[in-house]
Amino acid sequence: MSLQVAKRDLREVMVDSFISSVQSGLNIAVLVSDSTSTAKISPFSDKFPERLINVGIAEQSLVGTAAGMALGGYVAITTNAAPFLVHRANEQVQNDVCYSNTNVKLMGLNAGVCYGALASTHHAIDDISIMRGFGNIQIFAPSDSIEAEQIFAYAFNHVGPVYIRMDSAQLPHIHDHEYEFIVGQPDIMFEGDDLTIISMGSSSYEAVWAKRMLAKEGISAEIINLPSIRPLDHRKIVESLAKTGLVITVEEHSQHGGIGSLISEIIAEHGIGCRMKRLGFPEGAFAVSGPREQMREYVGIDAKGITKTAKEMISL
């Protein structure tokens, strides 16, 4: 596998998937909360205006209406910014979608610190922890457009609640076109012997670059991308951690409740002798505001920060 030159906005892949799904016979309804530009939804609304519902700036109504549409036989898909979905509509996600088991797909757009300088009101560094706290919802985080397209195809055809954590950057391909997403399976991108680096979403791009930087210094890193956070088969992760004995988790998310917490739980439950370092935004703190690249550097989740942490762990 290698980083590809091609870059594509995951939201464009999402909208193309909406269109192809309707054309293949899937009864989709897409709902926005005055978030048509955020969702880049115009190509879909131009083709299928009757399938787009705009509830205005009313996220609780967005989710409640989606649940009603699902009960009416639609595959209901909400498309709005992750911080407003998981915070403003928290009760409706829990009760109307998860508890009621309605066929709603929640697209958490612009997750992490995509909004940069707009600061904590627009950052979603707790969305995975919130969604993991709910029962009865599958959780995914695509890392590039090749993976995203396959996740969308699965999610739209799966009957039941789904949350998909979305990035707004134009992400380079870190998968070849032969890649196959398998629900519940960790994605072993590169094998290695010295330590394991586990990441999700756009952070996987940074992990792949760190792998290259470490290789130049003779360090062999195993890279695991987690597109499927729930469900998740633990076996490949357990095997990797037992082999290397060192693990770094990388996420544009709080250290609390995300994949760092998830991997800590796996280590404890399986009794693995493994040293661990979680990279992410500090637990109990808001993300600083500013350019996204600087925020990543500040908390050490860019490729240089991952490389630095890996070398420190190996030298102990």
How crowded is residue 1: how many other Cβ atoms within 10 Å of its Cβ?
Answer: 15
Distances in Å between the Cα of 149 and the Cα atoms of 143, 157, 273 are 11, 13, 37
The rounded distance, in Å, linking the Cα atoms of 35 and 121 is 16
Q: Annotated catalytic, 59?
A: yes
How crowded is residue 295: how many other Cβ atoms within 10 Å of its Cβ?
Answer: 22
The rounded distance, in Å, linking the Cα atoms of 206 and 63 is 33
DSSP, collapsed to helix, strand or coil, labels residue 160 as coil
The rounded distance, in Å, linking the Cα atoms of 63 and 204 is 30
User: Which residue out of 59, 147, 206, 222 is catalytically annotated?
Assistant: 59
Pairing status of strand 138-140 against strand 228-230: antiparallel
297 token code pair: 């550097």
Q: Residue 313's closest CA among 242, 243, 248? A: 248
C-beta separation of 137 from 230 below 8 A: yes
Task: Indicate which residues carry an active-site annotation.
Answer: 59
